[in-house]
C-alpha cells in the first residue's frame, strides 16, 4: 500500500518545520481535562508535611487539602484521588471505614466547598493496617474473602460521605462485584467504580509507600498484585471487572506498561485510566535535579506517551503542572 510517495517526492520533515504546522498535525495532546490529581490526607488542621521522595507532593490535613484541590480545580483539573493516612492503624484497618475517618472527612469537606470537583477515593486497606498489607492477615497470608466485607464497608462509607467514584486498588478477587452490590444495596447506585483492574506488583510504588506510610511489615504484595511478565492475564482481569460491574478500568503503573494500556484500549470499549505512579514521578525528578534531563520536557513526553498508548485519563502527581502549562499556551 503506497500511501506516501518515495523520497524525494515525500519529505516527512516538511510537517516538522515549525511549531504552527507541528501543532496542526499533532495527533495527541495532554491537557488539564485529561488528568487527575492524587492527594494524601492526614488528621489535624494546618498541617502540611513534605514527602522527601516526591518533591512538591505533601501530606496535608483537610483544610490544607482544600487549598490544593481548589487550586487544581481553578486550573481546570476535573478531579482528585484521595488517599488517607490515619492517626492510628490496627490489624483490620478500621480507620479505613470509620464514619469520621480522614478520607471521609476530606470527601465531605470537598463536596461542601468545591461541589464541581470530581472526588475519587482509593479503596484499599494498606494505609490503615498495622501490617501494611491490603487485606486481612492470617499467618502471613492476605485472605481474600474476609477482606471483601471490609472493602465493602469502606466503599459505602466513602459513598455516604459523597464520593463520586470509588477506586478499589487492593487486587482481591471478586471485589468489584461485591462493591457494586454493596453500593447499590445502600442506595448508591450512582456512585461509579474505577477499578484498578490491571495493577502490577511494582518497584515503582516505592515513594508512595513513604507518602502513604503503607510499606508491608513482612513479605511483599506479589501474592495479590500482578506479575510484571504477564499481558494475557491483564485481559482476564479486565474482563472479570467488566463482568462484575466496573465503569472504568485502570492500568498501573503507566510508562513501563504502555503495551498493556494499548491492549486494554483495543480489547475493551471501557474508559481506560492509567496511573503514572510515584516512582515514575520520582525518577524524572531525580534525574532533573542532577541536571541530566529537562523536567518539563520529560514530564510531558511521558504523559503524551501514556495517552498515545490509549489512556483516556491519567492519574498524575503532575496534574497541576500540566494544567498550568495549558494556561501559558
- Between 66 and 125, name the residue whose CB sits nearer to ligand PBG: 125
Largest CA-CA distance found in the chain, in angstroms, rounded: 70
Binding of ligand PBG by 126 (CB under 6 A): yes
Give the Å distances, CA to CA, from 164 to 17, 96, 113, 144: 45, 17, 15, 26
Q: For residues 329 and 288, is the Cβ–Cβ distance under 8 A?
A: no
Q: 232-271: which residues touch ligand PBG (CB under 6 A)?
A: none
49, 89, 111, 199: which is the annotated catalytic residue?
Answer: 199
* Contacting range for ligand PBG; rule: CB under 6 A; set: 17-25, 86-94, 118-126, 234-242: 118-126
Output 21 or 203, the one with its CB closest to ligand PBG: 203
147 Cβ neighbours under 8 A, 6+ residues apart = 125, 134, 135, 136, 170, 172
Query: By CB under 6 A, is residue 200 in contact with ligand PBG?
Result: no
Query: Least distance (Å) from ligand PBG to the CB of residue 204?
Result: 6
Q: What is the dihedral of CA 42, 43, 44, 48, to 10 degrees?
A: -10
Residue 124 lies near ligand PBG (rule: CB under 6 A): yes
Q: How far is the CB of 124 from ligand PBG (least distance, A)?
A: 4
199: annotated active-site residue: yes
Instruction: Kindly tell me which residue out of 128, 188, 208, 270 binds ligand PBG, with binding defined by CB under 6 A.
Output: 208
Kindly state whether residue 226 participates in binding ligand PBG, applying the rule CB under 6 A: no
Name the segment binding ligand PBG (CB under 6 A); options: 67-75, 122-130, 172-180, 282-290.
Answer: 122-130
CA distances from residue 318 to 53, 145, 182, 298 in whole angstroms, order as listed = 14, 36, 33, 11
Query: CB of residue 111 vs ligand PBG: minimum separation in angstroms?
Result: 22
Q: Is 252 designated active site?
A: yes
Are 132 and 126 a contacting pair, CB within 8 Å?
A: yes
Comparing CB distances to ligand PBG, the nearer of 134 and 182 is: 134
**In the complex, what is the shortest distance from the CB of residue 220 to ligand PBG, in angstroms, rounded to a whole number?**
9
169 binds ligand PBG (CB under 6 A): yes
Choices 1-9, 153-161, 202-210, 294-302 (CB under 6 A): range interacting with ligand PBG: 202-210
Of the residues 34, 68, 122, 244, which one makes contact with ligand PBG according to CB under 6 A = 122
- Nearest-CB residue for ligand PBG: 208
**Residue carrying C-alpha cell 481474600:** 144
**What DSSP string runs through 267-288?**
H--S-EEEE--HHHHHHHHHHH
From 23-31, 137-145, 204-212, 230-238, span contacting ligand PBG (CB under 6 A): 204-212
The answer to whether residue 134 forms part of the interface with ligand PBG (CB under 6 A) is yes
Contacts with 99 (C-beta within 8 Å, 6 or more apart), sequence order = 157, 160
Site string for ligand PBG, 274-303 (x = CB under 6 A): ---xx-------------------------
Distance CA 310, CA 254 (A): 11
CA distance 321 to 323: 5
Minimum Å gap between C-beta 212 and ligand PBG is 7
Helix (H, G, I), strand (E, B) or coil at 248: strand
What secondary structure letter does DSSP report for 96?
G
Render 27-81 in DSSP notation, one character per residue: -----GGGEEEEEEE-SSSS-EEE-TTSTT-EEE-HHHHHHHHHHHHHHT--EEE
Summarize as ranges the residues that interact with ligand PBG (CB under 6 A): 122, 124, 126, 134, 169, 205, 208-209, 221, 277-278
| Residues annotated as part of the active site | 199, 252
Amino acid at each position: 500500500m503506497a500511501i506516501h510517495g518515495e523520497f524525494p517526492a515525500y519529505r516527512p520533515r516538511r510537517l516538522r518545520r515549525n511549531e504552527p504546522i507541528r501543532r496542526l498535525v499533532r495527533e495527541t495532546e495532554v491537557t488539564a481535562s485529561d488528568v487527575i490529581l492524587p492527594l494524601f490526607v492526614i488528621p489535624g488542621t494546618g498541617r502540611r508535611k513534605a514527602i522527601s521522595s516526591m518533591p512538591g507532593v505533601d501530606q496535608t490535613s483537610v483544610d490544607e487539602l482544600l487549598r490544593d484541590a481548589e487550586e487544581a480545580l481553578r486550573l481546570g483539573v476535573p478531579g482528585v484521588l484521595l488517599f488517607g493516612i490515619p492517626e492510628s492503624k490496627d490489624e483490620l484497618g478500621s480507620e479505613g471505614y470509620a464514619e469520621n475517618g480522614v478520607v471521609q472527612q476530606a470527601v465531605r469537606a470537598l463536596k461542601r466547598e468545591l461541589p464541581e470537583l470530581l472526588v475519587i477515593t482509593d479503596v484499599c486497606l494498606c494505609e490503615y493496617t498495622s501490617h501494611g498489607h491490603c487485606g486481612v492477615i492470617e499467618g502471613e497470608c492476605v485472605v481474600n474473602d474476609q477482606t471483601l466485607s471490609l472493602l465493602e464497608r469502606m466503599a459505602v462509607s466513602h459513598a455516604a460521605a459523597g464520593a463520586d467514584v470509588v477506586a478499589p486498588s487492593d487486587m482481591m478477587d471478586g471485589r468489584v462485584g461485591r462493591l457494586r452490590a454493596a453500593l447499590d444495596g445502600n442506595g448508591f447506585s450512582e456512585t461509579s467504580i474505577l477499578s484498578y483492574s490491571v495493577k502490577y506488583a511494582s518497584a515503582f510504588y516505592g515513594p508512595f509507600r513513604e507518602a502513604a506510610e503503607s510499606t508491608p511489615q513482612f513479605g511483599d504484595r506479589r501474592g495479590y498484585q500482578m506479575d510484571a511478565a504477564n499481558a494475557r492475564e491483564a485481559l482476564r482481569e479486565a474482563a472479570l471487572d467488566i463482568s462484575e460491574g466496573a465503569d472504568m478500568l485502570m492500568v498501573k503503573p503507566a510508562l513501563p506498561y504502555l503495551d498493556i494500556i494499548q491492549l486494554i484500549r483495543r480489547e475493551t470499549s471501557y474508559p481506560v485510566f492509567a496511573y503514572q505512579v510515584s516512582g515514575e514521578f520520582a525518577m524524572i525528578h531525580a534525574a532533573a535535579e542532577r541536571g541530566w534531563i529537562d523536567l518539563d520536557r520529560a514530564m510531558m513526553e511521558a504523559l503524551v506517551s501514556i495517552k498515545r498508548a490509549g489512556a483516556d485519563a491519567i492519574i498524575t502527581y503532575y496534574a497541576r503542572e500540566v494544567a498550568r502549562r495549558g494556561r501559558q499556551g
